[in-house]
Amino acid sequence: MKLRTQKRLGAKLLKAGKKRVKFNVEKLKEIKEAITRADVRSLIKNKIITKKQKKGISSGRKKKVLAQKRKGRRSGQGKRKGTFKARNPKKRRWINKIRPQRRFLKELKNSKIITNKEYRELYLKSKGNFFRSISHLELYLTKTMKKDLTKYKENKEKKLKELLKNKAQEKENQNKKQKKQETQKKQVKQEERAKTSKTKKNTEKKEKKTKK
Domain that holds residue 42: 1-52
**Mean pLDDT for the chain overall:** 91
Query: Would residue 133 count as lying in a domain?
Result: yes
Report yes or no: 54 and 78 within 8 Å, Cβ to Cβ: no
Rounded to an integer, the average pLDDT of 143-159 is 91
CATH number at residue 29: 1.10.1650.10
pLDDT of residue 205: 74
Confidence category of residue 212, pLDDT binned at 50, 70, 90: low
Task: Please check the confidence at residue 208 and state whether its pLDDT lies above 90.
Answer: no
Helix ranges restricted to H, the chain: 4-14, 28-33, 37-45, 60-70, 84-87, 90-110, 116-127, 134-143, 150-211
CATH number at residue 115: 1.10.1200.60
Last residue within a domain, chosen from 148, 174, 195: 148
pLDDT of residue 189: 86
Task: Please check the confidence at residue 210 and state whether its pLDDT lies above 80.
Answer: no
Size of the chain, expressed as the number of residues it contains: 212
Q: Which 8-state DSSP code applies to residue 50?
A: E
pLDDT in tens, 61-116: 999 999 999 999 999 999 999 999 999 999 999 999 999 999 999 999 999 999 99
HSE-up of residue 156 (Cα within 13 Å, Cβ side): 9
Distance CA(193)–CA(46), nearest Å, equals 10
The phi-psi region of residue 205 (left if phi > 0; otherwise alpha if psi is between -120 and 50; otherwise beta) is alpha
How many domains, the chain?
2
Report yes or no: 9 and 41 within 8 Å, Cβ to Cβ: no
Distance CA(47)–CA(41), nearest Å, equals 10
Last residue within a domain, chosen from 148, 180, 202: 148
Task: Please check the confidence at residue 31 and state whether its pLDDT lies above 70.
Answer: yes
Looking at residue 84, its amino acid is: F
pLDDT of residue 202: 77
Report yes or no: 115 and 156 within 8 Å, Cβ to Cβ: no
Last residue within a domain, chosen from 107, 131, 148: 148
pLDDT in tens, 158-206: 999 999 999 999 999 999 999 999 999 888 888 888 888 777 777 777 7
Contacts of 107 (CB under 8 A, 6+ apart): 152
pLDDT of residue 211: 64
Report yes or no: 156 and 134 within 8 Å, Cβ to Cβ: no
- What is the C-alpha end-to-end distance of the chain, expressed in Å? 28
Could you tell me if 92 and 144 lie in one domain? yes
Q: Residue 22: beta bridge partners?
A: 50
